[in-house]
């Protein structure tokens, strides 16, 4: 992407290379989504400008990492964030 944005005299070969890269990357992302959807069925999926967010509060993050790694994904291909909600109660 850096070879196209803000660059003058872009060559067709550069655009084709970007196309191949993005196609492969987007296919990898779709595969990752399929794997997670097969492993668990309670996801909220939101597409944003430069990210697809899959959220759930019913699937253990360790299991998500395990299933992705079993399918050949590395930790630099996804970002996993865990948020905890603290609840208070009175007896």
- Extract the tokens encoding 77: 């291909």
What's the pLDDT at 91? 60
In this prediction the pTM is 0.79
The answer to whether residue 27 scores a pLDDT higher than 80 is yes
Could you read off the pLDDT of 44-71 as tens digits, one per residue? 999 998 899 999 999 998 999 999 999 9
Cα separation, 71 vs 69, in Å, equals: 5
The answer to whether residue 3 scores a pLDDT higher than 90 is no
End-to-end CA distance of the chain: 57
- Extract the tokens encoding 8: 């003058």
């Amino acid at each position: 992407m850096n070879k196209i944005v803000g660059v003058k005299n872009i060559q067709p070969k550069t655009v084709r290379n970007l196309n191949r890269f993005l196609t492969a990357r987007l296919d990898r992302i779709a595969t990752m989504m399929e794997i997670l959807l097969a492993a668990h069925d309670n996801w909220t999926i939101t597409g944003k400008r430069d990210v697809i967010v899959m959220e759930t509060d019913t699937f253990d993050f360790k299991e998500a990492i395990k299933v992705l790694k079993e399918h050949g994904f590395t930790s630099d291909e996804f970002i996993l964030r865990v948020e905890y909600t603290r609840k208070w109660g009175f007896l």
